[in-house]
Amino acid sequence: MQKSKKMGVIQLTPLTAINMMGSGIILFPANLASIGTISIFGWILAALGATLLAYAFSICGMFSRKGGGMGGYAEYRFGIRGNFVANFTYAISLVIANIAIATGVVSYMTYVFNWTLSPAGTCLVTLLVLMSAASISFFGSKAAGKFSPLESAAYSPLSVD
């Protein structure tokens, strides 16, 4: 029996969630730490906002027969220009989010390993983190899914075309 090279639904879900929410969530505690325990309401509000966003996308998926996710939904209403604007702004936000996540990783690494880095050193280590994370994609989507926090999801019997 040949092993499937497709990623499963259980694998894709955390991968997408981490990608979309990573930069905001990783920096959230640092931003709210100065406020105190009342910041728990910020966490609740962020969770509610993420849930409402997921609900909005699910409704769009039910009403739109076009594929392509966010760009497809925009194209359904605004034409090809709407598709371009939605996908372009999403791509820009992903670049910014990935840099923010890598910067957060480097910040945590400097604390854990007690490093003192210059701004140039921080930039170089951030670039190394970005390149190492991007290099996983050279091995395919299955490898990227196995790298996600839910590694056991790689053995899911479900698959997505």
pTM over 0.75: no
Task: Say if residues 73 and 66 touch (Cβ distance below 8 Å).
Answer: yes
Q: How many other CB atoms sit within 10 Å of the CB of residue 118? A: 8
- DSSP character at residue 64: -
Provide CB contacts within 8 A for 142, sequence distance 6+. 5, 6, 7, 154
Q: What DSSP element (H or E) covers 61?
A: helix 40-63
**What is the pLDDT, as a whole number, of residue 99?**
85
Q: From first to last of its 161 residues, what are the pLDDT tens digits of the chain?
A: 556 556 566 666 666 666 666 556 656 666 666 677 777 787 788 778 778 877 877 777 777 676 777 788 788 778 899 889 888 988 888 888 788 878 888 888 898 899 999 999 999 999 999 998 888 878 877 777 776 654 444 444 444 44
Task: Say if residues 122 and 111 touch (Cβ distance below 8 Å).
Answer: no
Measured CA to CA, the distance from residue 161 to residue 20 in angstroms comes to 21
Instruction: Show me where the domains of the chain are located.
Output: 89-149
**What is the pLDDT, as a whole number, of residue 126?**
93
Q: 3-class SS at 68? A: coil
Measured CA to CA, the distance from residue 158 to residue 154 in angstroms comes to 10
Which residue from 53, 17, 5 is spatially nearest to 149, judged by alpha carbons?
17
Q: What DSSP element (H or E) covers 133?
A: helix 119-135
Measured CA to CA, the distance from residue 45 to residue 48 in angstroms comes to 5
